[in-house]
């Protein structure tokens, strides 16, 4: 039986105290809603509809994607009313799964179990037991243990509030039954809202089986209603990622001090020091080492390479046995071949450095092709921008560039050339030989240093 998914994302999120719609607040570098949609899409639904309200245009602009349907809830009259707005966007049959845009860590396995339970005609609901159930609707059962209804906390009696089994709000049911039950919802409650949870009472009255399932992990159903809850969920997410890395054999100096904001894949014997951030897609091959405080975004790092502390690397590819940093910046479009050294306070942008080439100190290499076995001296810069256009520098194999050299692009330095310290190169340098820009040194003996008054 096909499954259709409705994601409720219309809430204003007043407790977030932010102009940003709640479901767009980031968890591990992605909007809360993005996590929910990714999990929903793993179920291969025939339809996936997001119901928006507060800031709906902003949510849609950020999250819109092919195959995603949208519905608007205005005014916002409860969860049952929200699902009603999605019905026109759904197909006529199959099972409907209802999720929430501010519950980002729900697992695909948990949802599959819920959908499977509904496939036989039951109303499948997801519940869990909490030591502190405040704020949640309570699951009311009869003496034989069967679910009879869900009562919202504001409508509950003192005895019902003492119940520790709570409703997560996530449920699955056939489209036909959902249509019928939603049409019969009433808003005679303290909030004057149409509660989706009232379909449980409808199922009881009709003798429909209520299948209860529980999340595989306790934190899967944690929602976000405040910045404090968002921060706690971030730490739970990161500890889960850290434990996965540890299980895979990665050495983490401190599992509590790593942030994975995307996809991180590691080979054998990889080690990661404290306070590192990994964004986008990052791969660390066998034996790679990442020092403290590094930030890597969309980077592939070769085997045996060491990224020394406080280096920032973006959209780059680094070969085997290279040495980067400390305090290096590798910008997008850069490829560093095997055994390259890029040292402290060196910036490389949109450039290629060939095998075993080195730029160890205080240099800028931009829009440059560097050959093999090149040494770039301290303070060297490629002057690649003329105020209107970027120009390219080519440094061929086995070139030695002294300290404090300026290469004014476009320019080519021939194979085996040596450029003396302090030179300003404005035209092509032939292969071999020494190139320098000579200037007479002058001393003015009668000059007086300025003094403070």
Catalytic annotation, pick one of 214, 219, 355, 361:
361
Sign of CA dihedral 148, 154, 160, 162: positive
The set of residues, in sequence order, having a beta carbon less than 8 Å from that of 106 and lying 6+ positions away, is 36, 39, 99, 170, 215, 220, 221
Helices (H) and strands (E) in the chain, counts: 8, 37
Known catalytic residue at 214: no
**Residue given tokens 């969920």 in the structure block:** 233
DSSP assignment of 58-102 equals HHHHHH--TTEEEEE-SS---HHHHHHHHGGGS-SSSEEEEEETT
CA distances from 363 to 252, 330, 366 (A): 31, 12, 10
Tokens encoding 415: 């194979």
* 19-44 exposure pattern, b = at least 16 Cβ within 10 A, e = fewer: eebbbbbebbbbbbbbbbbebbeebe
Q: CB burial class (10 A; 0-12, 13-18, 19+) of residue 146?
A: exposed
Residue 181: which H helix or E strand, with range? helix 175-183
Q: How many residues does the chain have?
A: 453
What is the three-class DSSP state of 169? strand
Q: List the catalytic residues.
A: 361
């Amino acid at each position: 039986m096909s499954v259709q998914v409705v994601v409720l994302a219309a809430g204003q999120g007043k407790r977030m105290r932010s102009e940003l719609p709640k479901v767009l607040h980031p968890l591990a570098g992605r909007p809360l809603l993005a996590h929910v949609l990714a999990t929903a899409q793993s179920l291969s639904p025939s339809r996936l509809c997001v119901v928006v309200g507060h800031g709906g245009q902003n949510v849609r602009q950020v999250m819109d994607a092919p195959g995603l349907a949208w519905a608007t809830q205005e005014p916002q009259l409860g969860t049952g009313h929200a699902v009603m707005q999605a019905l026109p966007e759904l197909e006529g049959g199959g099972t409907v799964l209802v999720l929430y845009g501010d519950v980002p860590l729900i697992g695909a396995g948990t949802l599959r179990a819920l959908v499977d339970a509904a496939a036989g005609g039951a109303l499948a609901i997801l519940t869990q037991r909490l030591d502190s159930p405040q704020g949640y609707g309570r699951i009311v059962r009869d003496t034989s243990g069967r679910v009879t209804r869900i009562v919202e906390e504001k409508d509950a009696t003192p005895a019902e509030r003492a119940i520790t089994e709570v409703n997560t709000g996530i449920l699955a049911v056939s489209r036909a039954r959902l249509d019928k039950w939603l049409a019969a919802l009433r808003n005679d409650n303290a909030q004057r809202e149409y509660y989706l949870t009232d379909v449980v009472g409808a199922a009881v009255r009709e003798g429909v089986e209520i299948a209860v399932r529980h999340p595989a992990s306790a934190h899967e159903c944690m929602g976000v209603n405040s910045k404090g809850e968002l921060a706690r969920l971030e730490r739970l997410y990161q500890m889960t990622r850290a434990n996965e890395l540890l299980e895979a054999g990665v050495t983490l100096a401190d599992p509590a001090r790593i942030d994975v904001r995307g996809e991180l894949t590691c080979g054998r014997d990889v080690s990661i020091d404290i306070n590192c951030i990994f964004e986008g897609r990052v791969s660390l091959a066998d034996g790679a080492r990442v020092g403290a405080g590094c930030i890597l975004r969309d980077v592939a790092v070769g085997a045996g390479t060491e990224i020394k502390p406080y280096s920032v690397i973006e959209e780059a590819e680094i070969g085997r046995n290279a040495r980067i940093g400390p305090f290096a910046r590798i910008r997008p479009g850069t490829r560093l071949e095997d055994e390259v050294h890029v040292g402290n306070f060196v910036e490389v942008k949109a450039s290629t450095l060939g095998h075993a080439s080195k730029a160890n100190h205080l240099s800028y290499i931009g829009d440059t092709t560097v050959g093999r076995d090149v040494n770039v001296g301290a303070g060297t810069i490629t002057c690649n921008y003329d105020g209107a256009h970027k120009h390219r520098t080519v440094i061929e194999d086995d070139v030695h560039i002294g300290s404090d050299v300026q290469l004014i692009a476009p320019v080519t330095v021939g194979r085996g050339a040596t450029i003396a310290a302090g030179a300003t190169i404005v035209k092509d340098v032939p292969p071999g030989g020494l190139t320098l820009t000579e200037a007479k040194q002058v001393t003015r003996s009668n000059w007086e240093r300025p003094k403070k008054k």
